[in-house]
Structure 1
């Protein structure tokens, strides 16, 4: 399937977290992607992460970028907590700059909105010299549980490199609203994460987290209205396919999974142009 939609595609690290960045770059080059995301910091204590303390692998990753033309787009994952020390991210920024990355995925884990907003603003300021945006991702089990609060925090922080990351699963599970997508200023949108999930939503926090980190579905295979979510978003946003599938991964290797993911994402996005669907809500790129 061709790519005449205007979208470019990235493999999110969570999709193939067992692969080191050089392997991901080679995989992306073989399967038709343009970019990858890299997890520099673990999502949970003791979780998998790469490169911050591995200069040899960093050099190998830079060589793979040069050899293939596949770029690193986003970096994960920064959690802003009550006692976060912004100065501690210097190495994170330096590695991101060395990779040529553009965006950082940021999570809000502080119930004090005033302090969280101040820390987010300070983090944005610290990232500026490295050419990085700070994209706040709302997730229903965090202290930025939905799109409305993400808009409020990023707006109050008022930083030129601030942004909001819309993840399809979190958008659906947080009961955020399509009309709120139109309230996001264009300059806050740097990329979007696409996947699918069952129509029936988990009823517990544990269930939400497990589904998000381990058992998503390929675009079009679940019950999320992906076309409705994508319609108001700019058509030139990079699309990161974040689709961890622990059960499927026991029988299907990473190359086949990322190929299926890309084919299915393109099929969903092609529906944006189906004749007869109203385009009035589409935002200009």
Structure 2
């Protein structure tokens, strides 16, 4: 729902009947008033936030806006912060993630590193190597089904993740062979426009889900041009997303 306001995101998730919501924080437009309004809406609807995104780590020092996003997540009671890195220096990525975790110490929020071919931390093994160097109970590794598949991830890679690192996961489906892993434009286009409903594509979702801890919260990351075009109304779009996702999770879609 890239066109939705923060309050519309809360409304759509709540009206559809999701167990959790997710929140995109645009630091350019987000104000203290936004935080107050979103917090009030979450309280009124009873909707908890599964995650807040996105902390996009880039070369250079720790970005004050990233500290701000973590603070917003904590104020909103979110369970997770989603981070990706475009810094080619793995050590610098590690240090900035560790600083975010240190800043969030004393809270219950988890700082999740997501990997993908669109970023500099491209694979699950790269992400694992970075997190192993950070000694923090807030460290977490976020698996997105599409990025895991396109970066050559395997089921043994999932099995090797320390269980304490898995705070939630992002599921979607997509058609194989999908984007060329050597074409960054195609990779990004697929990620933001060409995902499909759970069970409607070719990703090995059942085996992947079977490897995840039981009762793990799941974010459905179905960024889809077709979904946006066919359901321009945000509440109808959320309802359709929940319908197809529940059908797959209940086993009525293979």
TM-score (normalizing by structure 2) = 0.90
The whole-number CA distance in structure 2 between the counterparts of 1:196 and 1:84 is: 36
Report Cα offsets for 1:12-37 as digits up to 9, x if no partner.
xxxx1211222222212221102111
The whole-number CA distance in structure 1 between the counterparts of 2:147 and 2:165 is: 18
Give the CA deviation at 1:95. 1.7
Q: Does residue 90 of the first structure (1) align with residue 67 of the second (2)? A: yes
The whole-number CA distance in structure 2 between the counterparts of 1:238 and 1:202 is: 27
Q: Which runs of 4+ in 1 moved over 4 A?
A: none
Report Cα offsets for 1:65-102 as digits up to 9, x if no partner.
11110012211111222203255533323222221112
- Shift in CA distance, 87/249, structure 1 to aligned 2, threshold 3 Å: closer
Q: Does residue 238 of the first structure (1) align with residue 217 of the second (2)? A: yes
Residues 138 and 145 of structure 1 are in contact (CA less than 8 Å); yes or no, is this contact kept in structure 2? Answer: yes
Residues 106 and 137 of structure 1 are in contact (CA less than 8 Å); yes or no, is this contact kept in structure 2? Answer: yes
Aligned to 1:150: 127
Alpha-carbon RMSD: 2.0
SS of residue in 1 equivalent to 2:143: strand
Report Cα offsets for 1:124-145 as digits up to 9, x if no partner.
2122244321100011121111
Report Cα offsets for 1:163-211 as digits up to 9, x if no partner.
0001111111111011111111111111111111111221121111011
The whole-number CA distance in structure 1 between the counterparts of 2:37 and 2:92 is: 39
SS of residue in 2 equivalent to 1:201: coil
- Note the residue ranges of structure 1 that are not aligned, 5 or more in a row: 1-15, 43-48, 275-285
The whole-number CA distance in structure 1 between the counterparts of 2:70 and 2:213 is: 27
The whole-number CA distance in structure 2 between the counterparts of 1:100 and 1:78 is: 17
Aligned to 2:5: 20
Q: How does 1:135-174 map to 2 (within 5 A)?
A: 135-174=112-151
Residues 75 and 104 of structure 1 are in contact (CA less than 8 Å); yes or no, is this contact kept in structure 2? Answer: yes
Residues 194 and 265 of structure 1 are in contact (CA less than 8 Å); yes or no, is this contact kept in structure 2? Answer: no
Q: How does 1:40-55 map to 2 (within 5 A)?
A: 40-41=25-26, 51=30, 54-55=31-32
SS of residue in 2 equivalent to 1:159: coil
Q: How does 1:1-285 map to 2 (within 5 A)?
A: 16-41=1-26, 51=30, 54-203=31-180, 204-253=183-232, 254-271=234-251
The whole-number CA distance in structure 1 between the counterparts of 2:100 and 2:178 is: 33
Residues 38 and 72 of structure 1 are in contact (CA less than 8 Å); yes or no, is this contact kept in structure 2? Answer: yes
For these two proteins, the number of residue pairs brought into alignment is 250
Q: Which segment drifts farther, 263-272 or 69-78?
A: 263-272
Query: Relative contact order: is structure 1 or structure 2 higher (C-alpha 8 Å, sep ≥ 6)?
Result: 1
Q: Which segment drifts farther, 143-152 or 259-268?
A: 259-268
